[in-house]
Amino acid sequence: MLESPLTWGQQDIWRAVVAARPQEHYLNIGRIFAAPKRPVTVERAVKALDDLVARHEALRTRLSGPRDHPRQRVSPIARPYVEVTDESAQVVCDRLSGEPFDYWEEWPLRVAFLVTGDHVRHVVLVLCHLAADGHAADLLVKDFRLLLLRDSLPPPQSATPRELAEWQRSPEGRRTSDEALAFWTAEYRRMDPVTLADVPRRPRFWEATMTSAAIAAAAQAVAARERVSSSTVLLTAAVRLAGRLTGQRFCGMRVIVNNRFAADRRDVVSTISQEGLVLLDLRTPDFGELVRQGWQVALRAYRQAQFDPYAMEEAVSGMGPGIRSFGCFNDQRLVQRDEVTGLDERAVRASMERTELAWTDTMDRNICDFRLHVGGEPGRMEVSLYADTGLLAPPGIERFLYDMESTLVEAAFA
């Protein structure tokens, strides 16, 4: 057994777990993938899972030590929960994701092999967020698929969670954290105060999800015109609209940063993503100009997203009344490269008629009071806003999402 402190990424997730308990299962990460065309027996799939678990330390790690100050403990062998079923993949994924992990006792993944007859057709992986972030989950799916086809893979090259924790405690790691703290506090000093409040509902946190083809087409069109990613375009629109809500001229939104830019971090299987801070000067009326500012600012912000989260919390919490970042933006789309498509204004505007908005979740507690998620398919985007109703009432949540769409459609045809 090998013990080490939690990494900064794990500490971030632990803070989110504590803040949401007992509803923290929303943090679980589910993935469904098709088995290779060549027939795979359950025995073969179990062997591939054993190899996957042996390959990645993160999958053999549980928490240890006191509940208020956990550490991570790596074991040489782990036997995660596995089931073989003929239910539908989404039903199984929802069921396995629906309960929080038992962090001290349970291995951090749950697996289901979906079979027809003797053969595995699909695999469901549900990961504890302390073990993996979204990108790590995708790396695990890739490895798992390869292991279903081959007997072995070349050894992983990227740092393990324990090595990350060790680096974070080294002088270089501490310097990196201090630099990020200095960057964030300097940006906080530029922020205008937020005075936004409403009467909280019960449950307190509501999520609405908008499904829109128009927002996908419009974001890509603006991205192509301004030579930036659609992610930057969506982030910029979100900050501009947040600034309208808060009345801030300088509005800062947190954004989930992958942190796998260095060569030895590209394939890290752990929770290495943390938040960056994007502060925009909203005085410019021109959206294109704001998007270009967003690109420059985001690039700098992405480089300042590795830090000790407890030190950061202490540094930014005392910056003055109402001085706070507003919300968190997370682009979870799998396809990051934008398609450049011809844009038919009438068709895009007509498609707005088919935009759907639904209330998709509620919670009593959460670490974040304004969370925007982008997902869906390339041609049909899903944008979710999870907000504290004590900050923004449900009609305001709806309006924010529709305003995202109209802002981008207007910008696309400006």
Partner 1 sequence: MQTDGELRGRLAEMVAEATDGAVEAADVLAGETRLADLGVTSLGYLRLIDAVEAEFGIELDMTSADSLDELVDYLRLHA
Binding site for partner 1 (CB under 8 A): 227-229, 231-232, 258, 261-263, 266, 295-296, 298-300, 302-303, 336-337
- Our CB check for partner 1 shows the closer of 1 and 263 to be 263
**What is the smallest separation between the CB atom of 300 and partner 1, expressed in angstroms?**
5
**What is the smallest separation between the CB atom of 149 and partner 1, expressed in angstroms?**
22
- Our CB check for partner 1 shows the closer of 177 and 258 to be 258
**What is the smallest separation between the CB atom of 278 and partner 1, expressed in angstroms?**
11
- Our CB check for partner 1 shows the closer of 79 and 175 to be 175
- Our CB check for partner 1 shows the closer of 41 and 336 to be 336
Query: In angstroms, rounded to a whole number, what is the distance separating the alpha carbons of residues 358 and 54?
Result: 42
**What is the smallest separation between the CB atom of 263 and partner 1, expressed in angstroms?**
7
Which residue from 269, 210, 157, 217 is spatially nearest to 401, judged by alpha carbons? Answer: 210
**What is the smallest separation between the CB atom of 318 and partner 1, expressed in angstroms?**
29
Which residue from 376, 388, 304, 366 is spatially nearest to 24, judged by alpha carbons? Answer: 366
**What is the smallest separation between the CB atom of 267 and partner 1, expressed in angstroms?**
13
Rg, Å, the chain Cα set: 22
- Our CB check for partner 1 shows the closer of 175 and 349 to be 175
- Our CB check for partner 1 shows the closer of 14 and 183 to be 183
- Our CB check for partner 1 shows the closer of 167 and 402 to be 167
Tokens read off for 219 = 């974001």
In the sheet that 81-85 helps form, which strands lie side by side, from edge to edge? 29-34, 119-127, 109-116, 81-85
**What is the smallest separation between the CB atom of 220 and partner 1, expressed in angstroms?**
14
